[in-house]
Amino acid sequence: MKRSPRDTFVQFYRQGNTPPRPSQEGIVNTITKSIERLIERELMVGYGVRTSRKWYIHEVKLTAEGRKQAKKLRGEQQQLPLKNPKP
């Protein structure tokens, strides 16, 4: 699997139509925390620059274990009990 730029996640969250919409800074902070948690659990690898205080992650890639977990989660997601409108 190839590397994905970080902007991909920001674009995904911008598409949401749920009010109230989070600010740009809030979206970036949420994505950063999520990526860092996945890297700590060794489900994702981050590529970027490290300073003495923090990482600046530019691209990410799923590990083999991350791909397994993603497949498992996609199979386990529950369907919402939506009713089809009757004609």
DSSP of 22-60: PPHHHHHHHHHHHHHHHHHTTSEEEEEEE-SS-EEEEEE
Domain ranges of the chain: 4-12+23-71
Q: For residue 20, say if its preceding peptide bond is cis, omega within 30 degrees of 0.
A: yes
The pLDDT, as a whole number, for residue 18 is: 63
Nearest to 41 by CA among 33, 49, 31: 33
pLDDT for res 77: 65
- Predicted pLDDT of residue 86: 65
Indicate the pTM of the whole model.
0.70
pLDDT given at position 52? 86
pLDDT at 64 (0 to 100): 93
Per-residue pLDDT of the chain (87 residues; tens, 9 = 90+): 688 888 888 887 777 666 677 788 888 888 889 999 999 999 999 999 988 888 889 999 999 999 899 888 887 766 677 777 666
Give the Cα separation of 39 and 5 in Å (integer): 15
